[in-house]
Amino acid sequence: MDKRRYMDGLYRELYPVLLRWAERSVPGQGEDFVQEAFCIAWTKRVELFESANPAGWVVKTLKNILRNHRRQQGRRVRLVGGEAVEWVEDPWDAYSELVLRSDCCAVLSPEERRLFDRALLQGESCPAIAVDLGIPLGACQKRLQRLTAKLRTAL
């Protein structure tokens, strides 16, 4: 396997999703953090290629980079004497690795994939999705609950 070609393909596949996630977490700086994740992946390519899920490895690396950044920001705020910023974990974090695991996403129907994308990747609210689909809010919430259970089972 040509490692450079493989990394190029991985980059092309993951970059848009990772950039959207990083930009939501750190607006205006997402590209820098995604680039850093891929630089780490290249420098640690032996570990990356030995991983059972290289895409998940890159996602986890980006997740760690973003968490470190949040910790540093919190320290800076405390050092300056301001109030500590309380960070609320992005709901996408819990599902980030699932998104990139095609074997898991393969268990979803096209309708479930659209719901997954809207609710968990794009961050649309359940009430907005329910109105758009013309269904009650409870029905939308139940569909999301079943969808996440299905993905957990697939893991």
Higher pLDDT, 148 or 135: 135
Q: Is the pLDDT of residue 25 over 50?
A: yes
pLDDT at 103: 57
Please provide residue 125's backbone torsions phi and psi, each rounded to the nearest 5 degrees: -80, 150
pLDDT at 109: 82
Encode pLDDT of 80-125 as tens digits: 444 444 444 454 454 454 454 455 567 778 888 788 777 766 677 8
Q: Which of 32-46, 82-96, 121-135 has the highest mean pLDDT?
A: 32-46
How far is it, in rounded angstroms, from Cα 75 to Cα 60?
Answer: 23
Give the number of C-alpha atoms closer than 13 A to the C-alpha of residue 25, restricted to the C-beta side: 29
Q: How confident is the model at residue 78 (pLDDT cuts 50, 70, 90)?
A: very low
Q: For the chain, give the mean pLDDT.
A: 76
Residues 6+ apart with CB under 8 A from 126: 119, 137, 140, 141, 144
pTM for the model stands at: 0.51
Q: Is the pLDDT of residue 64 over 70?
A: yes
pLDDT above 70 coverage of the chain, percent: 73
How far is it, in rounded angstroms, from Cα 75 to Cα 17?
Answer: 29
